[in-house]
Copies of this chain bind each other. A is one copy, B any other.
Amino acid sequence: MAQGSENTLKVAHQAFAHFTHGLETGDWNLFLDMLTEDFSFWFPVGKFHGLNVGKDNARAFFQYVSESLKGGLTLTLERFTSNETTVVFEFRDEGMLLGEPYKNRIAVSFDVREDKICGYREYFGSNGKSN
């Protein structure tokens, strides 16, 4: 495996561990620390639907996610795939969303630049009611 890919995997796995911690606990500081200032992300639905640019938007987004969750989500990682710059994680999650039981299947795609995450795309594999 090329050196670039090894770093990409290492950085993305560290970020995914922090991302998991954020979803579980509502504490996003470690994850936010790993984002570049020009970080951009795509989200499928709602207030942050589409492309969102900049770390301030990311901070607002992850705070909004945790405010909606209350009690956190539990994640089960199913697999990951990668190339030189990107790692995709497929996982299932489960918890409470806006006071209702919530389950989903998710793919998140992290773009790595040096030791940071510069891009993120989230995709929904189910309807929020089963995973």
Shortest Cβ distance from A42 into B: residue? B125
Which residue, of A81, A106, A109, A121, has the highest number of chain B Cβ atoms within 10 A?
A81
Contacts of A44 in B (CB 8 A): 105, 124-127
Chain B residue at minimal CB-CB distance from A51: B130
Are A127 and B87 in contact (CB-based, < 8 A)? Answer: no
A50 in contact with B130 (CB, 8 Å)? yes
Interface size for A (C-beta < 8 A) is 27
**CB of A47 within 8 Å of the partner chain:** no
- In contact, A107 and B105 (Cβ under 8 angstroms): no
Cβ–Cβ < 8 Å partners of A86 in chain B? 79, 81
When chains A and B are docked, how far (Å) is the Cα of A17 from the Cα of B124?
A: 23
